[in-house]
Amino acid sequence: MLKRRIKALIAVVLLVLLVYGVDWDQAHATLEHVWIPALAVTLVAMIWELALSAWKWLWTLRMHGLEYRFGYLFQVLTKAYFINNFLPTAVGGDAYRAFRTMPGDGFKSRAVSAVLLDRVSGLVALLLWGAVAACWLWSESPVARWYLSLCLAGGGAGLALLVIVHKGWLKALSNRVRHLAVFSAIEHNINYLKKARTEWVYVIALSLTFQATSIGIVYRL
């Protein structure tokens, strides 16, 4: 009971701080120009976006041998988003997500790795959509040509790194740091990712859908 009261008190204090920071005159002036049906559709899309994010996180956890219910992950994710409103970056929310999915046995870093994979896959998906837009605007925008060239260079470097790791050309370097505990954790997590097959398809598809939804929401707003 005391724990729930403390949680409720913290939530109330954070909400008061959030409300206090709003410029209500500006908010009222802005809302006068908002078309309510469009706003309702956008809010539904934002809830759908949260569901996609929780679903993608579910699959990144499964890739690390961790099983959680979708409802639980959705709840944790919304709390993490709430935490992010009061911190300068999303690190606080990500730390909360990792903490709430940390396994009781085995390498606890699997929860951290799952969140990192969730973030990285989202970033890659966003860059891919940017590359699609750059191809569309290639002939009329020098920025698009610069962006696409940068993406191709980064993608080539990434593929080269994957080949180097797969061929084992970094074994000499890895043997020097193999005694470190952090290396064992990283190697353990990478082995989980190597065993994943169809999970990669789900994560990539959900990442692309999530970013497309986000782009649509920003456009509508």
Residue identified by tokens 């970013």 is 211
The pLDDT tens digits of the residues spanning 93-120 come to 999 999 999 998 888 999 999 999 999 9
Contacts of 77 (CB under 8 A, 6+ apart): 50, 53, 54, 57, 97
Distance separating the N- and C-terminal Cα atoms of the chain? 41
C-beta of residue 126 within 8 angstroms of C-beta of residue 101: no
CA 86-91-95 angle, 5° bins: 105
Contacts of 100 (CB under 8 A, 6+ apart): 76
How confident is residue 163, by pLDDT bands cut at 50, 70 and 90?
confident
Phi, psi of 22 (to 5 degrees): -85, 135
Cα-based distances in Å from 87 to 12, 44, 78, 123, 149? 17, 25, 15, 20, 34
The pLDDT tens digits of the residues spanning 1-12 come to 777 788 788 878
In this prediction the pTM is: 0.81
Distance, CA of 60 to CA of 120 (rounded, Å): 11
The pLDDT tens digits of the residues spanning 31-63 come to 788 888 888 888 899 899 999 999 999 999 999
* More confident position, 53 or 167: 53
